[in-house]
Amino acid sequence: MKFFIDTANLQDIQEAQDLGVLDGVTTNPSLMAKEGIFGHDNVIAHYKKICEIVDGDISAEVIATDFDEIVREGEALAELHPNIVVKVPMIKEGVKAIRHFSDKGIKTNCTLVFSAGQALLAAKAGATYVSPFVGRLDDISTDGIQLIEQIVQIYSNYGYQTQVLAASVRHVMHLVQCAEVGADVVTCPLSVITGLLKHPLTDSGLKTFLADHAKGNK
């Protein structure tokens, strides 16, 4: 399973890259705003900085909601760097644009997916990635992990090449559960990735080893 980091924070991206397990980055307008990045030129410059850090797919989201503008924005984003993946919302015009991009060899990430039917449409349109939102479904008392499992099964049934990118992953158990049900990719904050390192028995075991070593050197 690939690990993507869901942020526009360059420090977090660099830290995840330095850990040696990072495969890509996902961003969106909200994450850009969180870092105080506003205005077209500033956003474009920030994407370029991310591309300099990470050698992997980097999702850059369009703002437009009509077909012609989605295509215009998406093609401009794709020209920034070979690793850019055009992130398109799961709407009618977005699905049409995904087919257009797919036919032109431009990678896409269909975002804001909350049902298996939506994921099926994205795959049929040729999306490179589909992003079901696990945490947001959990927020409304719906099983987000179950949706990931359902989409993985459907894609397996018909041999779709679209990768299931589990998004809105909020904690370590989300990540582990996504791995259990076969998600191709998980995107999450740095804290979730580093959370995988933690276990109290690891901490206590290391403390004991170091203490015993110190006794032997007295």
Q: Which residues are catalytic?
A: 87
Q: In whole angstroms, what is the distance from residue 155 CA to residue 163 CA?
A: 9
Dihedrals φ, ψ of 120, to 5°?
-65, -45
Phi-psi domain of 112 (left: phi exceeds 0; alpha: psi -120 through 50; beta: other): left
150, 118 contact by CB (below 8 A): no
Q: Which residue in 162, 188, 160 sits closest to 176, CA to CA?
A: 188
End-to-end Cα separation, the chain, in angstroms: 46
Q: What is the C-alpha to C-alpha distance for residues 143 and 186, in angstroms, rounded to an integer?
A: 16
CA pair distance 136, 144, nearest whole angstrom = 8
Within its chain, how far is the Cα of 15 from the centroid? Answer: 16
**What are residue 144's DSSP bridge partners?**
none
Quick check: 47 and 59 in contact, CB under 8 A?
A: no
